[in-house]
Amino acid sequence: MSVRKHENCASGCAGLCCLRVDGMGVSLGDTQLLHDVSFHLHCGEIVALIGPNGAGKSSLFKAILGQFPHTGAINFQRSDGKKSRPIIGYVPQSPAFDRGDPVSVLDFFAAAVADWPVFLPIPAKLRARVRDCLARTHAEGLMDKRVGALSGGEVQRVLMALALEPLPHILILDEPLSGVDIDGEKQLLDMLDEIRQTYDLSILLSTHDFATLEQFADKVILLKNTVLKVGPPAEVLSSPEFQDVFHLRMGKGGR
Ligand SMILES: Nc1ncnc2c1ncn2[C@@H]1O[C@H](COP(=O)(O)OP(=O)(O)OP(=O)(O)O)[C@@H](O)[C@H]1O
């Protein structure tokens, strides 16, 4: 299922490792949010991070982004085998625009990618660049819409387009499916698959929507302050760890 074009990755993980987290811990003040977190994100993979509220999913993302201090190691393996800082595209949890916000998607995007003041007319060249960026997530038709008038799915497509400029090595999405209806969810998941194939990047996302995991995720990480289980969706969803964390009582016949 995965598109793995980085055959030349030098070492570890059968030469396909993209992001490697080893024994990572995160503490804020006296509170330890994460401990002994280890996992690999392979090139071209879509990996879903699941866990109950407060499990530390957003904190894990923030540590990878360098926003939270951490212990342990977070390494990125480039396709030429060297270690370096990756470009990471990030869409935070529940970003919302004020419903009355008069700023257009074009204005918002131009301000974000080119520091262009919203009160100045946007030159044709910048407009074309914004259109091209939005086209990566099929959101170019939203360019002249007010950001406050976007649906949940449309907000995600615009913010994902922003996270893809410049094209990152890793795309991190914090609960991209929340606030998105069933049709929008299908569109977003199809788009994620298209993005990873087109741009050859790895995607790490958190979700509480377990029903769709088998459709799109190559691998699932079950987190509750540490990694409890990693594996293909079906394996994690049927694991005792998953049942314990979500207080499920399964009969002998499973589901
Ligand atoms: N900046 C912060 N300062 C102090 N505690 C924090 C901070 N950010 C998160 N926490 C705490 O860390 C714990 C993990 O929070 P986090 O947001 O990472 O969990 P989560 O798995 O993303 O939860 P949810 O599924 O509800 O979004 C929570 O108890 C939270 O209160």
pLDDT of residue 84: 66
pLDDT of residue 133: 95
> How many domains does the chain contain in total?
1
Q: Look at residue 78 and tell me if it is in a domain.
A: yes
Quote the tokens at residue 67. Answer: 């926003």
pLDDT of residue 80: 61
Q: Look at residue 134 and tell me if it is in a domain.
A: no
Hey, whose CA ends up nearest to atom 5 of ligand 1? 28
Q: Look at residue 47 and tell me if it is in a domain.
A: yes
Q: Look at residue 223 and tell me if it is in a domain.
A: yes
Q: Look at residue 190 and tell me if it is in a domain.
A: yes
d(CA 68, CA 205): 18
Contacts of 26 (CB under 8 A, 6+ apart): 32, 33, 34, 56, 59, 60, 62, 63, 68, 69, 70, 71
Q: Could you give the ipTM of this predicted complex?
A: 0.95
User: What is the Cα 4 distance to its own chain's centre?
Assistant: 18
d(CA 254, CA 236): 13
Q: Tell whether ligand 1 has an atom less than 6 A from the beta carbon of residue 245.
A: no
Hey, whose CA ends up nearest to atom 6 of ligand 1? 28
Average pLDDT, the chain: 86
pLDDT of residue 253: 46
pLDDT of residue 2: 39
Q: What is the pLDDT of residues 61-113, one digit of tens each?
A: 999 999 999 999 998 876 566 666 788 999 998 766 778 778 899 999 999 98
Hey, whose CA ends up nearest to atom 30 of ligand 1? 54
Q: Look at residue 221 and tell me if it is in a domain.
A: yes
Q: Look at residue 88 and tell me if it is in a domain.
A: yes
Hey, whose CA ends up nearest to atom 17 of ligand 1? 58
Please give the helix or strand (H or E) that residue 126 lies within, else none. helix 124-135
pLDDT of residue 97: 76
Residue from 57, 60, 221 to probe ligand 1 pocket by mutation (most atoms less than 8 Å from CB): 57
d(CA 11, CA 79): 10
For residue 231, the enclosing domain spans 13-97+150-245
Range with the lowest mean pLDDT among 86-95, 183-192, 234-243, 245-254?
Answer: 245-254
Interval 188-204 mean pLDDT: 90
Check whether 9 has a pLDDT greater than 50.
Answer: no
Q: What is the pLDDT of residues 110-152, one digit of tens each?
A: 999 888 887 788 899 999 999 999 999 999 999 999 999 998 8
- Cα(209) to centroid of ligand 1, in Å? 19
Decide: pTM greater than 0.95: no
Residue from 35, 50, 59, 204 to probe ligand 1 pocket by mutation (most atoms less than 8 Å from CB): 59
Interval 151-158 mean pLDDT: 90
Contacts of 247 (CB under 8 A, 6+ apart): none
Q: Look at residue 142 and tell me if it is in a domain.
A: no
pLDDT of residue 83: 64
Reduce the DSSP state of residue 89 to 3 states and report it. Answer: strand
List the 31-42 sheet strands across, edge first.
Answer: 31-42, 17-28, 71-76
Q: Tell whether ligand 1 has an atom less than 6 A from the beta carbon of residue 58.
A: yes
pLDDT of residue 113: 86
Interval 192-220 mean pLDDT: 92
Check whether 17 has a pLDDT greater than 70.
Answer: no
Q: Band of the pLDDT at 26, cuts 50, 70, 90?
A: very high
CATH code (residue 170): 3.40.50.300
Ligand 1 atom nearest residue 62's Cα: 18
